[in-house]
Amino acid sequence: MRRFIIILFLLAIVGAGVWYAMVRYASLSEPYKGYEGAEQFVDVPSGTGTQAIGRLLVANGVVRDSLTWRVALWRSEDALRLKAGEYRFDRAMTVDEVMRKLARGDVYLRSVTFPEGLTIRQMARIYESAGLGSASAFTAAASDASLASGIDSEARDLEGYLFPDTYALPRRATAADLVGKMVARFQKVFSPALRGEAEVLGLTVRDAVILASLVEKETARVDERSKVAAVYQNRLRIHMGLQCDPTVIYALDRAGRYTGNLTHADLSFNSPYNTYRFPGLPPGPIASPGRASLEAAVRPAPVDYLYFVSRNDGSHAFASTLDEHNRNVRMYQVDFFKDQRAKEGAARGAAPAKKNPPPALRSRSRR
């Protein structure tokens, strides 16, 4: 009788163990969420072992308990592929889903995109609007010219050296972290090979980046960039003023005086960036150029153009002589706007007013 009781007792223990194991095994397929709030972040440091990762996940309410984690490790092929990083959890997940997430390295990153042709101030506003930090923090980080000292010892800030691109950042990344990535990206894109091409043309890195920034601001058309670069380099070669409108806009904006409309009076604004008043290149880049503009600056088209004027459709008409340029100005600017006023007058049922081109328009014929 006593032996029978012992056997029953042992069977009960075994049965309880089997039942507990079955319950735990079944729990592997049950989604679990043990944290409060809508999301939970778990930071897995580099070099953390699988058991320690499990303890982090359990402590943060992502995995039910250590036994569940160990069973999942035992049966999973992903156990040896878990990656470090910060992970975001925002829903109940099975332990297998959690493990696959870590094996994929699906770390939490925040993305921000900077289009080509922006200034530091404009980038700072994008940085802040993306919720990454304050605009002032970005501006302060972009003032660290030492990051570009290896390629431009004259740089006073990082204007022109923050490469426009999409950047994915960890949640705790600072403005300085982002700026460092942007400068590193610039140095990779503006490669030693491109710097060598600039040197052949007699351009320093700074010269090339300044030229590229002018090209970036003047045209968005890929087929025109090398022509615009040629215009400015041809002008520099014969000591002719660049008369580049975007340099005036940049100068006005730096002084807080740009209203969104460039007038004839603005062209006399006293700033070394004003290429209507001061010969040669401006003292620094006026925007962050993209790859195409950087390449155009060191690979100008083999043309003798000295002028270009907008066709009002995103493209430009180029000319080698002032007479040809003046004809283009009249065709694409004076006559174009005269026709526009005539159409507007006809639409209102009134005779079109006879007006001279606005001052800003007349100034463009000086190019």
pLDDT tens readout for residues 203-217: 999 999 999 999 999
230-277-297 Cα angle (round to 5): 20
Q: Are residues 275 and 210 in the same domain?
A: yes
**Taking residues 113-137, what's their average pLDDT?**
97
Q: Are residues 167 and 199 in the same domain?
A: no
CB under 8 Å, gap of 24 or more: what pairs does 275-283 form? 275/241, 275/242, 275/243, 275/244, 275/247, 275/248, 276/241, 276/243, 276/248, 276/366, 279/239, 279/241, 279/242, 280/236, 280/242, 281/207, 281/210, 281/211, 281/236, 281/242, 282/210, 282/247, 282/250
Better-predicted residue by pLDDT, 1 or 77:
77
Q: Are residues 299 and 327 in the same domain?
A: no
Residue 3 resides in a domain? no
Instruction: CATH number of the domain at 47, please.
Output: 3.30.1490.480
- d(CA 49, CA 75) in angstroms, rounded, equals 17
Q: What domain count does the chain have?
A: 4
Q: Are residues 321 and 332 in the same domain?
A: yes
End of a domain among 252, 274, 304?
A: 304
Q: Are residues 165 and 142 in the same domain?
A: yes
Residue 16 resides in a domain? no
**Taking residues 153-157, what's their average pLDDT?**
95
**Is 70 exceeded by the pLDDT of residue 8?**
no
Unique residue bearing structure tokens 């601001």: 217
- Per-residue confidence band for 30, with pLDDT thresholds at 50, 70 and 90: very high
151-156-158 Cα angle (round to 5): 65
**Is 90 exceeded by the pLDDT of residue 348?**
no
Query: What does the radius of gyration of the chain's CA atoms come to, in whole angstroms?
Result: 32
Specify the pLDDT at position 15. 46
Give me 266's structure tokens.
Answer: 């603005």
Residue 36 resides in a domain? yes
- d(CA 38, CA 16) in angstroms, rounded, equals 36
Q: Are residues 367 and 278 in the same domain?
A: no
**Is 90 exceeded by the pLDDT of residue 4?**
no
Specify the pLDDT at position 358. 43
Q: Are 316 and 217 in contact (CB under 8 A)?
A: no
End of a domain among 88, 104, 120?
A: 104
Residue-number span of the structural domain to which 311 is assigned: 306-367
Helix (H) or strand (E) holding 130: none
Residue 235 resides in a domain? yes
Q: Are residues 115 and 161 in the same domain?
A: yes
Q: Are residues 194 and 300 in the same domain?
A: yes
pLDDT tens readout for residues 182-210: 999 999 999 999 999 999 999 999 999 99
The CA–CA distances, whole Å, from 163 to 118, 148, 344 equal 10, 12, 42
- d(CA 66, CA 45) in angstroms, rounded, equals 19
Residue 88 resides in a domain? yes
Specify the pLDDT at position 79. 84
Sequence-separated (6 or more) residues with CB below 8 Å from residue 308? 218, 227, 228, 231, 316, 317, 318, 319, 325, 367
Q: Are residues 207 and 263 in the same domain?
A: yes
Q: Are residues 254 and 194 in the same domain?
A: yes
End of a domain among 152, 186, 220?
A: 186
Residue 7 resides in a domain? no
Specify the pLDDT at position 300. 98
Specify the pLDDT at position 42. 96
Residue 1 resides in a domain? no
Give me 115's structure tokens.
Answer: 């289009």
